[in-house]
Chains A and B, each alone.
Chain A
Amino acid sequence: MIDLRLKGVSKSYGKNTVVKSLDMKIASGELIALLGPSGCGKTTILKIIAGLQQPDEGTVFFGSQVMNSVPAEKREAVMVFQNYLLFPFMTVEENIAFGLKMRRTDKAVIKERVNEILALIRMEGMGRRKPSELSGGQKQRVALARALVLRPQLLLLDEPLSNLDAHLRDEMRELILRVHREFQVTTVFVTHDQEEAVLLADRIALIFEGNLHQFAPVRDFYERPQSERVASFFGNSNFLKGFCSGQAVETELGAFKTPLTGENESGRTVSLMIRPEHIIPGKGEDNSFLCPIRSKIYMGSFIRYRIEVGEGLWDVIDGPEARKGYEEGESAWFTFPPHMIWLV
């Protein structure tokens, strides 16, 4: 277990800068997701941490030690690649033992640790199989075991669930969480799947075009996103431009009360954000507006309305317990609870 710090890390390939002055601090034992769309530089960051790529600028710290000049094989930061990369000419046991063999670990110790880890990934009795005889999920578990058997300071997972089908994803997710609980190893994993990040990580680092946009606990991305882009990446959001005026935001629809603004912020231009599921159909005490309903779609467990708010269209999710039975074309009251409004 070790804490990890990246300070001003940048990396370019030719003229294309893929990581831009990245600062990040990860505490010992944390499980962190590097989240972002494909090509945003996530895997490059992982490889810089692993020592497989050198940053053009910036410093990588493991604890207080500068790691920039420490080669990958001496970092104790083991990376599990997206496409498993099991050595096809080795058995499962040999694959798992590879790192220990390279470190010239005693044969008896290797055997003991390989058996332990096979039990952990629930693959006892499969040690003599070749990778070609394994399913995708089993391959991924072996790849994880091959890293864990080394008891690394830092575990780096590149898209660990992306090649698995839905059922295996659940199994693998549970295994990663179990392993993390058991080994308490500082873990950084890369994903482009927001749901995967939310389900696994303690904190998420959201990256767009090599820039870190927000690094925070999972809940903050949903409830306190730092920008419209971050909010949109984490599910559907409704936005309305306005300016602060006392304890409200003045918009083209009217004043929205919110505890997030005060007298000293009056005049500041903001984007008011509220999630579709937080809007309540019907008239309430504060922030209730009469809005024309443009469409209504029955989705089984909920109804989705699209309502006109100023010049824009907002989504409203109406759960089964609060169905009002509004119809398309009519105007209806909707309430935007002040404590559910967020300003970006």
Chain B
Amino acid sequence: MNRNTAAWLLTAPALIPVLILFFGGFGLGILQSFSFFPLIGLDTPNFSAYTEVLAEDELLLSLVLTLLVSLSATFLTIALAVTAALALRSAERGRRGILFLFQFPITVPHVIIALGALLLLSQSGFAARLTAFFGIISDSTDFPVLVNDRLGLGIIYVYLWKQIPFIGIIALSVLQSMGNDYEELARSLGAKQSQVLFHVILPLMRPALLPGSVLCFAFTFGSYEVPFLLGRSYPSMLPVLVYRYFTNFNLVQRPLAMALAVLITLFLLVTVILYKKFLGGRNRL
């Protein structure tokens, strides 16, 4: 038995259930997206669910909102995570404690953070009452709308809370493995501090940051629980739209949910392929 066969055989017990669950569920979802759902009498596959979903009024607004939230959360995550990593790298005293606090949000589930954001940032929340108490605003209703808002600020806030430590730790490990030599070299060659950052440090970090940013974008684009809790009901982000179709008491809506889910998956797949094609190559040093 050659080594490849042995490797496949040894990993089979773990791989088979995963493949059955993933591709089985995925396959059924695709079949339902083509209105093949014998349980409720839909036994002729067709594109009607797709045409109906694409004709939906809310779809374009949902897509714009989803893109806005995902891109903003991803961009801000990268910017703030790199800033935090640079600061953490130069921290000397109490570094371990700061690092622990910095990484802590990674362990907290998104739903908990979303509920916390609701309690903290809503107009009846702690921040609103505190600012009203100190007379900064006259009434808690004057507090800016930060959750269930039009621009998805609350959603972005939660994703930042969770993703900054994740990308920050990656950025920090890259910075540490890089050492100071490249920066010293650049300074010796005449680069100012800002030039060192933009012409040396960030390009050197790019191979680690780009896949991280694609992960953040894909996750933000495709997850539903945070926008469900902190978003508006109209327009809602695409995954919430899928959830609404899926949980509708009328099972005829189920193929719409599956069609939209397939479209979201395809969009993310195309994004990853484009990233690989246009940035993945440049990523290799």
Contacts and interface: CB of A to CB of B under 8 A. Distances in A.
State whether these chains interact: yes
Interface of A: 47, 50-52, 71-74, 77-79, 81, 83, 85, 87-89, 98-99, 101-103, 130, 132, 146-147, 150, 156
Contact of A50 (B188, B203, B285): B188
Contacts of B192: 73, 102
A85 B181 contact: yes
A69 to B, nearest CB: 15
Contact of A98 (B189, B204, B206, B285): B189
14 contacts: A51-B188, A52-B184, A52-B187, A73-B191, A79-B185, A81-B181, A81-B184, A88-B204, A99-B189, A99-B190, A102-B190, A102-B199, A130-B285, A132-B285
Interface of B is mostly: helix
Contacts, number: 66
A189 to B, nearest CB: 15
Contacts of B200: 87
B189 A150 contact: yes
B195 interface: yes
A47 B185 CA distance: 10
Interface in B131-188: 181-182, 184-188
Given A73-B188, A87-B203, A150-B190, 5 more contacts: A71-B187, A78-B189, A87-B182, A87-B204, A89-B206
B188 A78 contact: yes
Nearest to A72: B187
A81 B183 CA distance: 12
Given A85-B181, A85-B182, A132-B285, A77 B188 contact: yes
Contacts of B190: 73-74, 99, 102-103, 150
A98 B186 contact: yes
Interface residues of B, number: 19
B285 A146 contact: no
Top 4 nearest A-B pairs (CB, nearest first) are A99-B189, A88-B285, A72-B187, A102-B191
Interface in B246-283: 282
Secondary structure of the A contact surface, majority rule = mixed
A52 B199 contact: no
Contacts of A87: 182, 200, 203-204
A102 B185 contact: no
A47 B285 CA distance: 28
Nearest to A50: B188
Contacts of A79: 184-185, 188
A102 B181 contact: no
Contact of A89 (B185, B188, B191, B203): B203
Nearest to A79: B188
Contact of A47 (B184, B191, B203): B184
Contacts of A77: 188
Contacts of A50: 184, 188
B215 to A, nearest CB: 21
B189 A147 contact: yes
Most-contacted residue by chain B among A71, A74, A89, A146 (CB, 10 A) = A89
Contact of A72 (B182, B188, B195, B199): B188
Contacts of A103: 190
Nearest to B192: A73
B186 to A, nearest CB: 7
Nearest to B182: A85
A156 B189 CA distance: 11
Most B CB contacts (10 A, CB to CB) among A79, A87, A156 go to: A87
B41 to A, nearest CB: 59
A209 to B, nearest CB: 24
A172 B186 CA distance: 23
B203 A73 contact: no
Given A89-B203, A102-B195, A102-B199, A146 B187 contact: no
Contact of B189 (A47, A51, A146): A146
A102 B183 CA distance: 13
A83 B188 contact: no
B204 A81 contact: no
A52 B199 CA distance: 18
A89 B204 CA distance: 7
B285 A73 contact: no
Contact of B187 (A73, A85, A147, A150): A73
A72 B203 contact: no
A3 to B, nearest CB: 20
B194 to A, nearest CB: 11
A179 B94 CA distance: 48
A316 to B, nearest CB: 47
B248 to A, nearest CB: 50
A331 to B, nearest CB: 58
A166 B119 CA distance: 69
Contacts of B195: 102
Contacts of B282: 89
A290 B188 CA distance: 60
A102 B189 contact: yes
A24 to B, nearest CB: 20
A150 B185 CA distance: 13
A159 to B, nearest CB: 13
Contacts of B199: 98, 101-102
A89 B187 contact: no
Given A87-B200, A89-B206, A132-B285, A81 B191 contact: no
Nearest to B206: A89
